[in-house]
Amino acid sequence: PTTRNFNFVVSEMDGAPDGFNKTMLVVNGLFPGPTIEANQGDQIVVTVTNQLSTRTTIHWHGLYQNGTNYYDGTASVTECGIPPGESLTYDFSVAEFSGTTWWHLQLTHVDTQYTDGIEGALIIHPTSYPSNFPTWDEDLVVELADVYHTISSTIVSEYLSGTSSPSGQSGLALETPDSGAINGIGQYDGSTNYFDFNLQPNKTYRLRLIHEGSAAQIRFSIDYHALTVIEADSTLTEPYTVEGITLAVAQRYSVLITTNQTAEPQGNYWIRAELISGLTVSGTNSDIRGIIRYDNSTDTPTTSTDPGVPNSGLSDLNVASLTPAISNTPPSSTKSYTVDFSIGVTSSGGAIAAMNGTSWTPLSGTSTLLQIVDAAKNGSTYAAEGSSVEPDNQFIITEDDIQVVDLLLVNTGPGAHPFHLHGHTPYVMGFGTGSFDGTGLNTVNPITRDTYLVPSGGWLMARFITDNPGIWTIHCHIAWHMAAGLLMQVNSLPSKSSQFDIPQAILDQCSA
């Protein structure tokens, strides 16, 4: 396998992605950060040097880290975080993974940091594509995000303490984004700086859309151009042509577009990234734009209202209609769990999340993985499912052989939540509003993906196979919710997780 080496330096700097100057936390001075591109089977080696005054980590969203759970980059779960001034080399294989994903910082409480800019694309090209899979001429990465002018540590502490936010919201109101960005460029307060792609006419482009934001859903479209979906998260799909796509935080889609439009205005078309935050505060710009140019056209598009794709009869993506390109009948489940969750309010008016009644709190000076490995060395069992020593930070301990787990996520509150389980790509068996009545599951050819939206007041059934040893977090990917404790851990194959030989550099972090 080819080894791909990267050096990431995490630092603080000032930047103005949308024209408003703010403090950012970035990798190598870039927002978004550097793209990691590799082929399936490669070894990826990233040395991360922390120049911040707080700890940091990098998590590789959606990757399996099979055999290297300690490099999953999740503070307090798989490591203690890289202390200020120190570095850590993450070293892992992508033999089993291919597709479009991203990397981001993952502290699991209080601090979110990736909101401030520590994020970037991660593209792994597969060894092969299915026969008859569509083809394209060129590959482009489109990184979308909601943008906040206030540093995330302030937003989060206000959210958790119930003091009013900079924009005057309080309690459970999500902090409303000030604007958004397409590949690091957005517009606020009249700014007319646009990210643009110069494309050649009559070609097919694959756009890899990645939602690297924190809270708002984003609807993506390109004036006059149909989007043919061919990938959802990192799963290749049957081609599905739509007018627009709404991405929840951390979701990805690859779409094909063909540059054969002749509609007015000729040669330049708006890319639209519309933030859907549920809240509008004056000053917010939710209408973020970029430009597709043909043949170096230099004009700015003049279309103000979204024209869609005229006369196409297309509508927006319906996630329930996504079908994997390589059909995969899921194995029957051998075990089921129900996890209900909601966001509540503390007596002081701050937000607090609960999953099965418990809000996740981070360990300090250690990680769950380290505790498990230490317990095994001392001949003791760390915790057993349902036992009185089951730690507060919540566990699902599965049996010691491979299980097929049906995880029913029940959202007992308002608002949809994008859930993500590390280290696995579950089958999304079904979802709906109201309570699950045992029906509505697709057992024939469900989509697999790593980030799925649990509907407001509804349910979602994720089926996954515990074939990857380690401690994996499952959490809502809305940054503020994660900080409020909407997170729990899954231990897959406990007897193997407890035998990991944790690299010395990770052990050293915890005592630093």
Residues that bind ligand C2O (CB under 6 A): 59, 61, 104, 106, 250, 420, 422, 473, 475, 477
Which one, 104 or 208, has the nearer CB to ligand C2O?
104
Q: CB 485 → ligand C2O: shortest distance, Å?
A: 14
Which one, 75 or 160, has the nearer CB to ligand C2O?
75
Which one, 225 or 420, has the nearer CB to ligand C2O?
420
Which one, 109 or 420, has the nearer CB to ligand C2O?
420
Tokens linked to 96:
């089993």
What sign for the dihedral angle of Cα 82, 88, 93, 97?
A: positive
Which one, 70 or 269, has the nearer CB to ligand C2O?
70
| Residues 177, 278: Cα–Cα separation, whole Å | 11
Q: CB 314 → ligand C2O: shortest distance, Å?
A: 30
Which one, 118 or 250, has the nearer CB to ligand C2O?
250
Which one, 69 or 106, has the nearer CB to ligand C2O?
106
Q: Are 432 and 440 in contact (CB under 8 A)?
A: yes
**Calculated CA dihedral for residues 359, 362, 367, 368, nearest 10 degrees:** -10
Q: Are 256 and 472 in contact (CB under 8 A)?
A: no
Nearest to 468 by CA among 61, 64, 63, 59: 64
Q: CB 208 → ligand C2O: shortest distance, Å?
A: 16
Q: CB 74 → ligand C2O: shortest distance, Å?
A: 6
Q: Are 384 and 397 in contact (CB under 8 A)?
A: yes
Q: CB 60 → ligand C2O: shortest distance, Å?
A: 9
Q: CB 101 → ligand C2O: shortest distance, Å?
A: 8
| Residues 246, 494: Cα–Cα separation, whole Å | 37
Backbone φ and ψ of 374, nearest 5°: -65, -40
CA 455 to chain centre: 17
Which one, 167 or 251, has the nearer CB to ligand C2O?
251
Residue nearest to ligand C2O (CB): 61
Q: CB 451 → ligand C2O: shortest distance, Å?
A: 7
Which one, 61 or 417, has the nearer CB to ligand C2O?
61
| Residues 4, 275: Cα–Cα separation, whole Å | 35
Q: CB 254 → ligand C2O: shortest distance, Å?
A: 18
Q: CB 119 → ligand C2O: shortest distance, Å?
A: 9
Q: Which amino acid is at 181?
A: A
DSSP state of 150: S
| Residues 202, 224: Cα–Cα separation, whole Å | 14
Q: How far apart are the first and last CA of the chain?
A: 34
Which one, 110 or 279, has the nearer CB to ligand C2O?
110
| Residues 262, 281: Cα–Cα separation, whole Å | 38
| Residue 256 bridge partners (DSSP) | 206, 228
Q: Hunting for tokens 């899954």 — which residue is that?
A: 490
Which one, 165 or 491, has the nearer CB to ligand C2O?
491
Q: CB 442 → ligand C2O: shortest distance, Å?
A: 25
Report CA-CA distances (Å) from 19 to 15, 286, 341: 9, 14, 38
Q: CB 210 → ligand C2O: shortest distance, Å?
A: 11
Q: Are 410 and 341 in contact (CB under 8 A)?
A: yes
Q: How many helices (H) and strands (E) does the chain have?
A: 5, 29
Q: Give me the helix-helix angle, 504-511 and 368-377, nearest 10°.
A: 110
Tokens linked to 116:
């401030």
